[in-house]
Amino acid sequence: MLELDAVTAGYDQRAPVLRDITLSVAPGESVGLLGPSGCGKSTLARVAALLHRPDGGRVVIDGERAGGWRHRAPRAQRTAFGVVFQQPRLSADPRLRLADLVAEPLRANGRSGEVTDTVRELTERVGLGPELLGRRPHEVSDGQLQRACLARALVLRPRWLVCDEMTAMLDASTTAALVAVVEEYRRESGAGLLAVGHDRVLLERWCDRTVHWSELAA
């Protein structure tokens, strides 16, 4: 269970972007969070993935209260989340080749030994051919880079996925392909999903249930 309980967060204590938001995702469940741009849903996604410290409220992950945010979060809690963001260009370190991009979380956790096999298996799954793995982000298209970013999010086999407007920049076919990869992973791992977006048709097709921001902020 991923529980966000009365979360208030923002970038300025005096003017929080979101106030008193409560939302929970059951294990294995996929929840689509719909809302207009600028409403604060991305901030909520970052709070849920322990990447932004809220000003109030609490986050409970599988019954365990979040111990901190960003680097202060225990590594086991941080790595329980796989995150994918809207803009692949900003989500990829421009100096890393795609293979290293995907392998980075393994190396950061001292699991370099698994890199070769895991990277091969995952990049194949997201549809990246071996000829692309040696390239740097500026040498591939948005769609290809987002595929690599999704592979990176899955590499530690997280129990929770947080996708913040993952497909907003992508065409219909790449969108369908990435959603299919996410769903396949969830089927075999039982991971839960919080998908944030503004495309009602997409989220209703993708997720078990969708919540509109206005229902949460009420």
Partner 1 sequence: MSTSTAVSTSTPLPVLSVRGLSVRFRMRGEKYVRAVSDAHFDLAAGECLALVGESGCGKSVLASALLGLLPGNAETSGSALLGDLDLMTADEQTLARTVRGRRIGLVPQSPAAHLTPVRTVRSQLEETVRELTGVPKPRSRKAAEAAAARAAFPADHLDRHPHELSGGLAQRAATALALIGDAPLLLADEPTTGLDRDLVERTVDELKRHTGEFRALLMITHDLAAAERIADRIAVMYAGRIVEHTDARAFFGAPGPRHPYARGLLDALPEREFTPIPGMPPELGDLPTGCAFAPRCDRATAACDVLPRLDAGVACHHALEAQRA
Partner 2 sequence: MAELTWKSTGDRRRSTRAWRVRGSAVTVAVIVLAVLLVPPLVQLDEQAVDLAAKLRQPSLAHPFGTDDVGRDLLLRCVYGLRVSLLVGVVAAVVATVIGTAVGAAAAASGGWFDRVVMRVVDLFSSVPHLLLGIFIVAMFSPGVWPVVVSVGLTHWLSTARIVRSEVLSLRSRPYVDAAISGGASRLRVAVRHLLPGVLPQAGLAAVLMVPHAIWHESALSFLGLGLPTHQASLGTLVQSSRGPLLAGDWWPTLFPGLCMVIATLAIAGLAGAWRERLNPRRRSELML
Chain positions contacting partner 2, by CB under 8 A = 46, 49-51, 70-71, 75, 78-79, 81-83, 85, 87, 90-95, 104-105, 108-109, 136-139, 141, 149, 152-153, 155-156
149: tokens are: 């970013």
Query: Which one, 118 or 175, has the nearer CB to partner 1?
Result: 175
Minimum distance, C-beta of residue 143 to partner 1, in the bound complex (Å): 6
Angle at 112 between CA 108 and CA 115, to 5 degrees: 110
CB of 7 to partner 1, least distance (A): 23
Task: Output the six-digit token pair for 160.
Answer: 């929770």
* 4 dihedral zone (left: phi>0; alpha: psi -120 to 50; beta): beta
Closest residue by Cα to residue 194 from 168, 163, 215, 150? 163
Pairing of strands 81-84, 2-9: unpaired
Minimum CB–partner distance for residue 131 and partner 1 (Å): 8
Q: Which does 50 bind (CB under 5 to 8 A by kind): partner 2, partner 1, none?
A: partner 2
Return the one option of partner 1, partner 2, none that residue 205 interacts with (CB less than 5 to 8 A, by type): partner 1
Contact between residue 193 and residue 25 where contact means Cβ atoms under 8 Å apart = yes
> Which of residues 88 and 105 has its CB atom nearest to partner 1 in the complex?
88
